[in-house]
Structure 1
């Protein structure tokens, strides 16, 4: 059986992205290599033992779950076998996202001397885009008259609108000449890794000791909108979240929580009752 061809065919029928297909194939081949059995010989226990080995190697919960989903897809969808239906993913720890203050964002941006690199970071923060969305922007996706742009076929194969900061309007106009807004080599768009390195280097120069990466700017965008009092439903739309529960995470990183006064402090203002 040609595993790659079979997985790719079923993935296409479900509209999966190439990135997802590549990840699924990597996980499926890793499992098959370690299991070292013919497909018809593999049991549910083999899958459990494989996932257990990943846990022993201290792989992240999200990583283990991706392997499980990949194996489930292969056996359940491609091979039409039911041996994995009762297996559930492991519970992931709910860590709060790393967020920069406005002062930290300002410091980070000001360390970037390359105009194109600086504009990319300004757009990541100013529009709340994912790094993969920024690098795939085309001039036709930008409407500078309305100060908005469009993410085409973003996460979940969805289009959505985003705002363009007035402060970078002229800079964006200068980049609207080629096939891509941010071109890389060989007439292709800039790579995700290139942007990751730009942000990491800028954070280092700015003396930021947080774990800063491109998505940190998106977290900061969302948190600062909540700080400014924008409705959650508006923020959810701007971020392209399918579920409000994802957007609600940013309430926990908002500075509004810092303004809450403990009721214990209010007790000092209450007169003592006479016995």
Structure 2
């Protein structure tokens, strides 16, 4: 398993976060193999893989969603394919294993008005508010993943209009930054970051914690959750909520899906097209509410059958 993790990290160039997820998936698999009293990888059969999938779906202590099971199984399949390629085993026993069917899960986006309330909840002149305002404005302005934003360095803010983001597989993309986000970033760089930087070791990081070190993903999540609570937003608001909202609002505004794909850093347009389902639902609801012939009216005349019908 360690050899496989080195393979995906070095030869395939997967990100640190992805490799960490693979490591967690394989740890679950390793414990299951040990509990099944399998002493060698050559002893694993197709039936064992099927039993493992059923085990993942029936865990009582920590139930997994269909999406999580599919992800773990994908890791296991990649691992067994690697074993075959390396000559460790003679057969890829996981090749024909199938993940559970996934239902269509639409991304959760909040409205433009709710985004405005969320961003307003970071107003203030103290150093934490200046940082939080810049952080949230940038997340919504670019649709960036939270890992991409906390990994930004000051030099990645290329000019007043664009920022350089490094996504999965260390792929870089240049994304425009709107005027609100740019103003918030400039204010933070001038009035907030120098104060935070003086509290810790020298670092090129754009966003810093209160001790002067690079802001962590966990702290970024807590910042957003606290802002959502102050804004009175019900439900779960996370960094990915802003990413979903960015994509949804662009498509609702008429942006081409392939442009949104490029901005989000999706390798396939199929991943981006799920957001078109969100906007289609919104348009359908608006149509049903607004169009006089779309609403059911009690005064509408009954439909008469055709003659002889």
| Distance (whole Å) between structure 2 residues aligned to residue 243 and residue 175 of structure 1 | 35
Give the structure 2 partner of residue 55 of structure 1. 57
Cα pair 2:49 2:93 within 8 Å, conserved: no
Cα pair 1:7 1:25 within 8 Å, conserved: no
| Distance (whole Å) between structure 1 residues aligned to residue 49 and residue 14 of structure 2 | 23
| Distance (whole Å) between structure 2 residues aligned to residue 265 and residue 64 of structure 1 | 42
| Distance (whole Å) between structure 1 residues aligned to residue 210 and residue 118 of structure 2 | 26
Give the structure 1 partner of residue 236 of structure 2. 211
- Long gaps (5+) in structure 1: none
Cα pair 2:14 2:168 within 8 Å, conserved: no
| Distance (whole Å) between structure 2 residues aligned to residue 167 and residue 104 of structure 1 | 16
Do structure 1's residue 242 and structure 2's residue 267 form an aligned pair?
yes
| Distance (whole Å) between structure 1 residues aligned to residue 260 and residue 18 of structure 2 | 26
Cα pair 1:97 1:219 within 8 Å, conserved: yes
Cα pair 2:156 2:165 within 8 Å, conserved: yes
Q: Which moved more, 1:244-253 or 1:167-176?
A: 167-176
- 2:237 partner SS: coil
Aligned-residue CA RMSD in angstroms?
Answer: 2.8
| Distance (whole Å) between structure 2 residues aligned to residue 26 and residue 220 of structure 1 | 29
* Structure having the higher Rg: 2
Residues 183-234 of structure 1 show CA distances to partners (whole Å, capped at 9, x for unaligned) of 2377642111111111111112212112211110111111111121122221
- Long gaps (5+) in structure 2: 195-202
Compute the displacement of 1:79 (Å): 4.8
1:145-224 → structure 2 map (5 Å cutoff): 145=160, 147-152=161-166, 154-176=167-189, 179-184=204-209, 188-224=213-249
Do structure 1's residue 135 and structure 2's residue 124 form an aligned pair?
no
How many residues end up aligned between the 2 structures?
A: 270
| Distance (whole Å) between structure 2 residues aligned to residue 54 and residue 193 of structure 1 | 27
Cα pair 1:107 1:206 within 8 Å, conserved: yes
Cα pair 1:124 1:218 within 8 Å, conserved: yes
Cα pair 2:49 2:97 within 8 Å, conserved: no
Q: 1:225 to 1:84 in 2, by over 3 A?
A: same
Compute the displacement of 1:68 (Å): 1.2
Q: TM-score, normalised by structure 1?
A: 0.87
| Distance (whole Å) between structure 1 residues aligned to residue 144 and residue 7 of structure 2 | 30
Cα pair 1:175 1:182 within 8 Å, conserved: no
- 1:151 partner SS: strand
| Distance (whole Å) between structure 2 residues aligned to residue 219 and residue 131 of structure 1 | 12
Q: Which moved more, 1:108-117 or 1:209-218?
A: 108-117
Q: Which moved more, 1:80-89 or 1:195-204?
A: 80-89
Q: TM-score, normalised by structure 2?
A: 0.78
| Distance (whole Å) between structure 2 residues aligned to residue 90 and residue 171 of structure 1 | 44
